[in-house]
């Protein structure tokens, strides 16, 4: 341990009137440092006084608390307005969701109704086509039968006419062979007398 009486190269310390270092006796006493003071007040007391004056000025003269409260009130009002708008938007979204859910349900019902209606119409069209086809087949059969009957009647009439012509020709030939002019005169006289 170094002897306090020896002088070593220590940094220089400047002493002012406000702050003087008192050196105790050389028997191991500690050095006491005097704090600077102004008007008998320590620096932390001056800081406290300055803060008190600043706060009094801010709240008393400048009405900072009203500005802060007004700003907070405006923020609170803006937040309340945003919440109210969010509630309205949510209610509108719920209403739209319900509306679209109802539209989807109605669209599904309409689609089912249209499908059922289309099936009924298709069945009706098929039934009508079957009826029309059966009626057309019946008409065509009747027309074919009528044509066949007409052709048969015409063929019978032509056969009768040919048979009559043939029998007339045969009768004329027979009469011509077997009757002479005298027999014809007697036959004509008999027919005239019957009239």
Q: What is the pLDDT of residues 52-104, one digit of tens each?
A: 888 887 777 667 667 777 888 889 999 999 999 999 999 999 999 999 999 99
- The total of other beta-carbon atoms located within 10 Å of residue 44's CB is 9
Cα separation, 96 vs 88, whole angstroms = 12
The percent of residues above 70 in pLDDT, for the chain, comes to: 79
Asked whether the predicted pLDDT for residue 2 surpasses 80, the reply is: no
Between CA 100 and CA 113 the distance in angstroms is 19
Q: How far apart are CA 69 and CA 160, in angstroms?
A: 131
Dihedral sign computed on CA atoms, order 44, 48, 53, 58: positive
Helix (H, G, I), strand (E, B) or coil at 105: helix
Digit-coded pLDDT (tens) for 154-180:
988 888 888 888 888 888 777 777 767
Would you state the pLDDT for residue 167? 83
What separation in angstroms does the CA of 177 have from each of 165, 183, 184, 188? 18, 11, 12, 17
């Amino acid at each position: 341990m170094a002897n306090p009486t020896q002088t070593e190269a220590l940094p220089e310390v400047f002493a002012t009137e406000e702050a003087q270092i008192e050196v105790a006796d050389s028997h191991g006493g500690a050095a006491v440092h005097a704090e600077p003071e102004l008007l008998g007040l320590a620096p932390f007391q001056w800081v406290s006084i300055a803060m008190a004056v600043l706060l009094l000025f801010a709240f008393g003269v400048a009405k900072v608390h009203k500005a802060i409260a007004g700003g907070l009130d405006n923020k609170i009002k803006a937040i309340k307005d945003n919440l109210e708008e969010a509630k309205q938007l949510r209610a509108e979204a719920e209403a739209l969701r319900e509306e679209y859910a109802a539209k989807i349900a109605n669209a599904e019902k309409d689609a089912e109704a249209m499908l059922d209606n289309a099936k009924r119409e298709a069945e009706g069209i098929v039934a009508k086509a079957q009826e029309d086809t059966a009626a057309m087949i019946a008409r065509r059969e009747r027309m074919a039968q009528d044509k066949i009957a007409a052709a048969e009647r015409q063929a019978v009439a032509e056969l009768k006419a040919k048979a009559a012509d043939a029998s007339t020709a045969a009768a004329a030939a027979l009469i011509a062979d077997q009757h002479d002019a005298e027999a014809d005169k007697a036959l004509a006289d008999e027919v005239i007398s019957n009239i």
